[in-house]
Structure 1
Amino acid sequence: MVVLLLKSLGINDLLGFEFMDPPPGETLMRALELLYALGALNDRGELTKLGRRMAEFPVDPMLSKAIISSEKYQCTDEVLTIISMLQESASLFYRPKDKKLHADQARQNFVRSGGDHFTLLNVWEQWADTNYSQQFCYEQFLQFKSLSRARDIRDQLAGLCERVEIAVDANPNSNDITPIQKALTAGYFYNTAQLQKGGDSYRTLKTNHTVYIHPSSSLFQFQPPVKAVLYYELVMTSKSYMRQIMEIKPSWLLEVAPHYFKPADLEQLATGDKKMPKGQGAAPASTRP
């Protein structure tokens, strides 16, 4: 986000820029690679039209790319909600010691197909239907403060959408979640993983690391296991766990990130080949030290 901001201010010599607390050169290069892969920079390291729109949002560039992509897929309303809920997802549900079974059942009742992102969307929609009731949160074992923060975030993002002329429209076909999944994948294609042959672990497509579904996910112990997933964050404990997971189709990666993924990468997905994707975006030549 800092690199995107500096680029939007016309500062192109990032390696020579006098940071108060200079980041390692490798960190800067990774940031440039990500922004290039997201389409915010061209192959000369210059800010694109998309990059200028992304810079209007004071959030992680992957989030802003998902928001802007939602315009194409006509689902900005749902994507804003999901993104806002993701920010508070770690503290959304609570589980009193004397009501663990009730809390678990209440949480299970919110689960929707497609993954955790749609469970969060369902929580929001049910809460909104009660006119943002605090009593509803109490009855459903939800943190009212966390939901209220998500509502504030959503209001701010909706205001920024208006500033960059993105209409906050809802998905015209509420039964089809594919547009929402594609919009989110457009921003988070870096955070994707494929199921390994054993069926109990996944391997990240970008870094080739072994990762596992977090036990709190609705897709944990899902049978048969989902073949390809997108995750919001990795949590490192005894293993690397993916949190807030959504099912994806590998073919979407070619559609939303054609300069990052190539047809050969999809063949690797289909065959379970563990090689690094050949289409991995490199930093633009003019930005290399």
Structure 2
Amino acid sequence: MARDAPNLTGLDCFEGNTPHCSDTDALSQGDKEYDDILELNQFDGLPYSSRFYKLLRERKELPVWKAKSDFMDTLAKEQFVIVSGCAKTGRSSQIPQWCAEFCLSVHFQHGMVVCTQIHAQQAVDLALRVSDEMDVNIGHEVGYSIPLETCCTSETVLRYCTDDMLLREMMSDPLLESYGVVVLDQAHQRTVATDVLQGLLKDIALQRPELRVVLLTAVEPGPKQLVHFSGSAVPLIHLESPGAGEVAHSSTADGYFCAAIRLVLEIHRSEEEGDVVVFLVTAQEIDLAHDILRHEGHRSHGDLGELLPIAVHPDRPGNLPTLGWGETGRTRRVFLTSSPNEDFFWAVNSISFVIEAGLEKKYVYNPRIRTNSVIIQPISRGQAKTRKQLAGPTGKCFCLYPEDRQLPVETRPRIVESDMTSTALLLKRMELTGLRRCHFIDRPDPEALMQALEELDYLAALDNDGNLSEMGIIMSELPLEPQMAKTLLASCEFDCVSEVVIIAAMLTAPTCITVPRVDLKPEASQCHMKFQHPEGDHFTLINIFKAFKQCQQDPREFTEISFFELPVSVPAFGSRTNALNIKRALLAGFFMQVARDVDGSGNYFILTHKHVAQLHPLSGYGAKSSQLGLPEWVVFHKHSFSEDNCLRTVTHVTPEFLHMVPQYFFSNLPSSESKDILQSILNSGSSKHQQEKPLASQQEPLEDPTNDRCVVQ
């Protein structure tokens, strides 16, 4: 039975919040049988399990634990706190729990705790781990919310989520009144969403003095972050680092990739037990290294043990396996990853070796050509330090660059090199809620910001005064890029909502079409051919989705839009009228992404900035095995400039469809032969329309005025 001790609860005793018993007493009780001593969990009122005490002993060994008293005192006195410590210190798992204790101490009168992550998988992994440590059920007291998945209730006291999800939540709760503590983890990564959150929280904190804001960073924050919130230095708590072991620098003539592969094989042949993390640069390098190491692992002698390569991509990390030495024989895992994935390995304690190239790939938006350029640049000093610490004080880190290489002091903020269209739409929506200004740590590129506002104007998201229009308000509600949001709204007018929702879902999720290793490419090509649609790649995505649904045991639709009350049309996919309507809807949102084949050989001239690109090989039109001819005019979803200069996800359109393009956008297009051709077609079409209009008005029946339809500007 539970002990009758109303003034002494489980966490008060076992985490040293009161003088009723010491940590030593708590641990000694944790080693006993619990038939007659049952401490109650403050968060659910149930007795703690024996696993709680086991995990508690592990938690007390974390470097962050030494700073608990200091952190709790600072949190009680100050509105802002910054905690600096690498992935292995336990900052991401322990600090949010202590914030939940702080909110509990005031009976949650100011709200719950939310902790942001930059990757969805990390939010899920941390929520699972923390719910285990707190001895509560995932989805109840501790939960998470990521794009397309929510696992929490109104009673959740600690929620992990992605930074962009918290931004979207502010549309309905602009002052974040649901929360007493907001924890921004990985603030050193300087993502757009985290920077915008910091900018808005400065204004929110002035209106809510009871709110607490905690920043967690892997490296010491720069001067701008330290003084951002209050104008003076925010309290900064340094966590003791586990330290780095042996570090070796080298530079080889044949490049870092080959050197990394050789090092992995050498470690497997000659070094003691322990897993390996290899930081490469591109996704292609990760996949190639995975294939090579898997092949070499099969060739290795049995007495060396198994070599198990694991690809951990930034955009699709998946769950890290929990296999280790002694559990499946002699298995050495080799994690192949890239920036900014240093924090993915916070729970992997078996890492003994780190191999890092010292480089990272970044996408930098160029507003003049309306696309991202890819650059390869050195990682920051903070990233280099964090990678070295992953191996621990007894491990080894191999840096594949000279020791005297000059690394940047800080990570460059993403907000100064990103497309600002989605962010501008969000900030315009925030203005409606009363948050008139976002106090940026580093201001966005002025040219990119002006272009973003111009594109929102073209999409009819702004009114004549530069404020959000009715269309813009609805677009801001949709968790889609503005062009796709406008396309979805246009689909209401063109009676193709069901199909456009599928296209939007498929383009928002990670790509479902992958390129396998060389020996499987012919088979994969044949498989891709089965789904190709003659109208274009957007239609191919619908084919793939429908095939997926037919193979699923659970027939429920996963693209629900009922809360937007869009008039879902009767599915008519495959009919000529439906195909035309889908293309009209696509052009309503993506008219700025139209290109023309200028010579009949696949050289596509992009109208907005007079650049020539080719179709991506995975496009149904670009595939060598395709029977489809090259269309003259196409609408495309993305243009990858520096990687391969290709148009991705393209669909054939005719210029007659472009009559819906705003005239002021068309007049701003640079002069070109393609623009002249388009102008001629549009002029003749306009004249023909004027001639036929009286006849059409006599012959066509009037629409039922009671039939409500959404009309797109």
Q: State the match for 1:75 in structure 2.
A: 496
Going from structure 1 to structure 2, the CA distance change for 1:268 and 1:89 (only over 3 Å counts) comes to: farther
Deviation at 1:175, TM superposition (A): 1.1
Contact 2:600 2:632 (8 Å CA) reproduced? no
From 207, 211, 220, give the equivalent of 2:613: 211
**Partner of 1:254: helix, strand, or coil?**
helix
Shift of 1:90: 3.4
Aligned twin of 2:654: 249
Query: Are the counterparts in 1 of residues 635 and 652 from structure 2 also a CA contact under 8 Å?
Result: yes
Could you say what secondary structure the match of 1:46 adopts?
A: coil
Distance 1:169 1:267, change over 3 A: farther
Q: Kindly report which structure 2 residues correspond to 1:187-206, keeping only aligned pairs within 5 A, or say none.
A: 187-197=589-599, 199-206=601-608
Once the two structures are superposed, the pairs formed by residues 1-289 of structure 1 within 5 Å of their partners are 1-10=422-431, 17-88=438-509, 90-131=511-552, 155=559, 158-159=560-561, 162-172=562-572, 174-176=574-576, 177-197=579-599, 199-220=601-622, 224-237=629-642, 239-261=644-666, 268-269=673-674
Q: Distance in 1 between matches of 2:483 and 2:574?
A: 24
Given the superposition, is the C-alpha separation of residues 265 and 75 from structure 1 closer, same or farther in structure 2, using an over 3 Å criterion? Answer: farther
- The alignment partner of 1:85 has SS state of helix
Judged with a 3 Å threshold, the aligned counterparts in structure 2 of structure 1 residues 6 and 51 are, in CA distance, closer, same or farther, namely same
Larger RCO: 1 or 2 (CA < 8 Å, sep 6+): 1
Residue by residue over 1:73-127, the C-alpha shift from the partner in whole angstroms, topping out at 9 and shown as x without a partner, is: 1111110111111234634335354433222111111111111111111011111
Contact (CA 8 Å) 1:186, 1:257: kept in 2 or not? no
**How far apart, in 2, do the equivalents of 1:197 and 1:189 lie?**
22
Q: Secondary structure at the match of 2:595?
A: strand
Kindly tell me: are residues 88 and 6 of structure 1, through their superposed partners in 2, closer, same or farther at Cα, counting changes over 3 Å? closer
Q: Which residue of 1 aligns with 2:327?
A: none
Q: Residues 32 and 128 (structure 1 numbering): CA distance in 2 closer, same or farther, change over 3 Å? A: same
Q: In structure 1, how many angstroms separate the alpha carbons of the residues matched to 2:666 and 2:571?
A: 27
Task: Say if 1:251 and 1:171 are closer, same or farther in 2 by CA, change over 3 A.
Answer: farther
**Secondary structure of the structure 2 residue equivalent to 1:100:** helix
Q: Which amino acid aligns with 1:199?
A: S
SS in structure 1 of the partner of residue 599 of structure 2: coil
- The verdict on how the C-alpha distance between 1:105 and 1:67 changes in structure 2, with shifts beyond 3 A counting, is same
Cα distance in 1 for partners of 2:585, 2:553 equals 26
Structure showing greater Rg? 2
Instruction: Give the 3 Å change call, closer, same or farther, for CA 123–173 of structure 1 in structure 2.
Output: closer
SS at structure 2 position matched to 1:230:
strand
* Percentage of pairs with the same residue: 27
Q: Which residue is 2:109 aligned to? A: none
Which one is further off, 165-174 or 52-61? 165-174
Are the counterparts in 2 of residues 250 and 269 from structure 1 also a CA contact under 8 Å?
no
SS of residue in 2 equivalent to 1:83: helix
Q: Distance in 2 between matches of 1:127 and 1:239?
A: 29
Any stretches of 5+ residues in structure 1 without a counterpart?
Answer: 134-150, 274-289
Counterpart residue identity of residue 197, structure 1: D
How many residues are aligned here? Answer: 250
For residues 114-172 of structure 1, what are the alpha-carbon distances to aligned partners after superposition, in whole Å with 9 as ceiling and x for unaligned? 11111111011111122268xxxxxxxxxxxxxxxxx99x53xx33xx33321222444
1:231 to partner: Cα distance: 0.9
Change (3 A) 1:174 1:257: farther
Q: Residue 252 of structure 1: CA displacement? A: 1.4
The separation in 2 between residues aligned to 1:62 and 1:132, in whole angstroms, is 33
Post-superposition shift, 1:28? 0.8
Give the AA of the match of 1:163: F
Amino acid at match of 1:247: H
CA distance in 2, matches of 1:272, 1:254: 13
Structure 1 position 58, deviation (Å): 2.4
Structure 1 residues 170 and 95 mapped into 2: Cα distance closer, same or farther (>3 Å)? farther
The question of whether the paired residues in 2 share the 8 Å contact of 1:186 and 1:256 is answered with yes
Query: 1:211 touches 1:242 (CA, 8 Å); kept in 2?
Result: yes
CA contact (8 A) 2:620 2:628 kept: no
**Cα separation, partners in 2 of 1:102 and 1:211, compared to 1, 3 Å:** same
Partners of 2:620 and 2:573 lie apart in 1 by: 24
CA distance in 2, matches of 1:217, 1:40: 31
- CA distance in structure 1 between the partners assigned to 2:631 and 2:586 by the alignment: 17
Answer whether contact 2:480 2:508 (CA < 8 A) is retained.
no
- Deviating above 4 A after TM superposition, structure 1's stretches of 4 or more consecutive aligned residues are 14-17, 221-224, 264-268, 270-273
* Deviation (angstroms), 1:271: 5.3
Contact 1:57–1:64 at 8 Å: present in 2 too? yes
CA contact (8 A) 1:73 1:183 kept: yes
Deviation for aligned residue 1:223: 6.2
Q: Which one has the bigger strand percentage?
A: 2
1:40 and 1:51 in contact (8 A); partners too: yes
Structure 2: runs of 5 or more not aligned: 1-421, 679-713
1:25 deviates by 1.0
Q: Structure 2: how far apart are the matches of 1:10 and 1:23?
A: 18
Separation in structure 2 between the aligned mates of residue 228 and residue 188 of structure 1, nearest angstrom: 13
Q: How far off is 1:248 after superposition?
A: 1.0
What displacement does 1:237 show?
4.0
